[in-house]
């Protein structure tokens, strides 16, 4: 009996993965839509305004035709939090996410996938899908700063990274910054920062202040939409941080293009699915 229940639950997670990937690719979140609308009103350069109008038409057509927002479907990056009492083994969860993505790839003109993470006294499963296109993922940067570099060093590195990226990651997009931990964890934090609703602020007031400052500085670079010059280079800058060794301070920058797609699902122990943008 338990084998049957586990099999049904694995199928439910597989169904969730197949739906999440396509949903994220076709229907961008409202907070991102609002940020792009605000960018259209703010932009004053002629090339920048044309790009943002094109993006707006692109989203409208995708909505009307139930089609993909961007032709670059990238890889489906899944992050999951699994409760200690969730009755499906993490290995089976991985298989379900993999198989669901494979199904979506066959049923729609898409591409491939990847996975992540544990929570005590909980019998649910949360899965987040953030498709990452090659243009934005190629614009990933890491610097092993030292404490002596201070906040100034962090700001300089983030600015240098985005200026160097120019129009390659299809701006205006969202800049995710990960600070602290180890080198690999800093990059994980940067991607976690990208997955937050646009414009939310870190709960740490010092970090939130840095988010505001970097957001302003990045939009003063003049890179503009698609790198053609203008007032709107980034829609937001989000930061996540972690404690680190006293002699290091890794800083990671991960860029998400204007089509900052994301989708989430909660799976309970009975296999019921609750889709949402956040969990």
Query: Is 93 found in the same domain as 175?
Result: no
Q: Token match 């609308």: residue?
A: 37
Q: Are 279 and 128 in contact (CB under 8 A)?
A: yes
Query: Is 191 found in the same domain as 128?
Result: no
What is the rounded distance in angstroms from the CA atom of residue 37 to the CA atom of residue 23? Answer: 21
* Residue 215 in domain: yes
Structural domain of 144: 134-256
pLDDT in tens for each of the 279 residues of the chain? 455 557 889 999 999 999 999 999 999 899 999 999 999 999 999 999 999 999 999 999 999 999 888 877 777 788 888 888 899 988 899 999 999 988 988 887 664 434 444 466 778 889 888 887 777 788 899 999 988 999 999 999 999 999 999 999 999 999 999 999 999 999 999 999 998 999 999 999 999 999 999 999 999 999 999 999 999 999 999 999 998 888 889 999 999 999 888 889 999 988 899 998 765
Query: Is 81 found in the same domain as 195?
Result: no
Q: % helix / strand / coil in the chain, to the nearest 5?
A: 45, 20, 35
Distances (CA, A) of 242 to 94, 158, 180, 183: 26, 17, 5, 11
Contacts of 58-67 spanning 24+ positions with Cβ under 8 A = 59/28, 59/33, 62/26, 63/27, 66/26, 67/26
* Residue 237 in domain: yes
What is the rounded distance in angstroms from the CA atom of residue 248 to the CA atom of residue 145? Answer: 6
* Residue 53 in domain: no
Query: Is 125 found in the same domain as 181?
Result: no
Query: Is 159 found in the same domain as 199?
Result: yes
Query: Is 266 found in the same domain as 249?
Result: no
Query: Is 167 found in the same domain as 270?
Result: no
pTM: 0.77
Count of the separate structural domains present in the chain: 2
């Amino acid at each position: 009996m338990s084998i049957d229940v586990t099999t049904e639950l694995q199928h439910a997670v597989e169904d969730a993965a197949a739906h999440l990937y396509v949903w994220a690719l076709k229907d961008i979140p409202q907070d991102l839509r609002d940020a792009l609308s605000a960018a259209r009103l703010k932009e004053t350069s002629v090339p920048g305004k044309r790009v943002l109008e094109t993006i707006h038409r692109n989203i409208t057509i995708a909505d009307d035709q139930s089609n993909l927002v961007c032709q670059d479907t990238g890889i489906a990056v899944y992050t999951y939090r699994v409760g200690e009492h969730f009755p499906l083994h993490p290995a089976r969860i991985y298989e379900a996410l993999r198989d669901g993505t494979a199904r979506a790839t066959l049923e729609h003109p898409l591409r491939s996938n990847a996975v992540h993470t544990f929570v005590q006294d909980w019998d649910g499963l949360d899965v987040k899908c953030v498709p990452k296109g090659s243009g934005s993922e190629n614009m990933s940067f890491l610097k092993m700063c030292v404490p002596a570099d201070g906040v100034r060093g962090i700001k300089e590195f983030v600015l240098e990274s985005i200026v160097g990226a120019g129009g390659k990651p299809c701006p205006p997009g969202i800049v995710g910054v990960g600070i602290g931990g180890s080198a690999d964890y800093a990059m994980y934090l940067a991607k976690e920062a990208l997955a937050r609703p646009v414009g939310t602020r870190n709960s740490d007031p010092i970090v939130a202040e840095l988010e505001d400052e970097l957001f302003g500085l990045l939009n003063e670079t003049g890179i503009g939409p698609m790198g053609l010059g203008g007032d709107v280079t980034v829609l937001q800058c989000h930061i996540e941080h972690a404690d680190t060794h006293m002699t290091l301070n890794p800083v990671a920058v991960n860029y998400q293009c204007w089509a900052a797609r994301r989708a989430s699902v909660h799976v309970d122990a009975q296999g019921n699915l609750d889709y949402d943008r956040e969990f």
